[in-house]
Amino acid sequence: MDNPVLRFLRFLVMDNWPITLVAALGFVAIYLLLPRPRGGARAVGVAAAGLALLLTGALIVRAGAFTAEVVLFYAFSGIAVIAGGLLVTQSNPARAALSFALVVLSTCGLFLLQAAPFLMAATTIIYAGAIVVTFLFVIMLAQQEGVSDADQRSREPLLASLTGFVLLGAILYVLHAGYGTGDIDDAIARVRQAKTKPSAKEMAAVFGDEGHNFKAFFDGFRQAIKKGGDSSEARALSDAVDDLQDRWVGKVVRNDDAAEGRDVCERLEEVGLRARASYGILQPPADTRLSAYSGPPANAPLFPPADGKPDPGALRRDRDSRVPQMPHENTAYLGRALFTDYLLAVELGGTLLLVATVGAIAIAGRRGGRNA
């Protein structure tokens, strides 16, 4: 019987060694960069952090399909990761608070890329504008005697770094298993190989001639697209593959048309790159409704109807089944969801901030009394 420990080590070292290497380099970097009274090998830590970032970029960044959204996503994500590392490795709490503000602003950029402008604006105002300022205010109150010795040392740096990067590695493994791009990459590679062939028969040989319908290849292409998530984008790309399969069978194979075959291959490559770029973007179907308090689904007709105004009674009856025409009414639905579906989370967040502020002021008051 196979030893479970050896099977787990084979899973880490052989099957998923790039993710393991990135997590190990990140662990070494953070462990060496954490504050210490006598300093540490910070140069080695910075080198390990840079190597981990370069390796991560080599793993996730692929050439092709570079849209403005993709470039901004990588930029915001990279800034958030770097600022998060600075947040936990700074010995000066004021600089750590500013690093936290940079993390928040980068995350707000990601919110904006996901078409959530209200969430972006609210997070910027509340976290980057109010909470970070509150942190700095509390730091000035609580450290009237200068920088505390506790800020110059890390408690349990080895255990903290190991725990954090074990958790990070587990998340990366789950994402890789759920949204790994190996299938779509293999399909794109076969399309590119077929595109270089001089004749339609040689192109067909690359796809696999099974009853002249090439069902296995195109079904695999559609399954690779669906692996990225069930969204309107994925369904549109799957429909495009259906059309291209009809063109391939009806024109390329039947007429032995190499020029048509290359055009189909170019369209398939474009579809594959768009599908790969959409991996991990989880967009629910347009008719999904969070709850009875969240308003109508996004694909419902506008309110009031564009073809005329019915009587006031009909307007009241249709109000909960139509999309509001004014943006402020959409915000009202968001407020209803926050204070109904997520009431406990909102109240707990407010209570936590209130308790932290009161505690910091009480600590600062005791220190001020001793100084007097």
For the chain, state the CA radius of gyration.
27
How do strand 323-324 and strand 302-303 relate by DSSP bridges?
parallel
Cα within 13 Å of Cα(229), Cβ side: 16
User: Which residue carries 């009394």 as its tokens?
Assistant: 369
Round the average pLDDT of the chain to a whole number and report it. Answer: 75
Q: What is the pLDDT confidence band of residue 76, given thresholds at 50, 70 and 90?
A: very high
Residue 121 or residue 134, greater confidence: 121
The answer to whether the beta carbons of residues 298 and 341 sit under 8 Å apart is: no
Is pLDDT of 325 > 70? no
State the Cα–Cα distance between residues 215 and 212, nearest whole angstrom.
8
User: Which residue carries 């109240």 as its tokens?
Assistant: 347
Alpha carbon 218 to chain centroid, angstroms:
28
User: Any residues with CB less than 8 A from the CB of 67 and at least 6 apart, and which?
Assistant: 277
Is pLDDT of 354 > 60? yes
pLDDT in tens, 18-45: 778 888 888 888 888 888 766 667 788 8
Q: What is the pLDDT confidence band of residue 80, given thresholds at 50, 70 and 90?
A: very high
Amino acid 116: pLDDT: 77
Q: Is the pTM of this model over 0.85?
A: no
Q: Which two tokens stand for residue 31?
A: 């462990």
Which of the residue ranges 54-68, 246-260, 290-304, 308-322 has the most confident prediction, judged by mean pLDDT?
A: 246-260
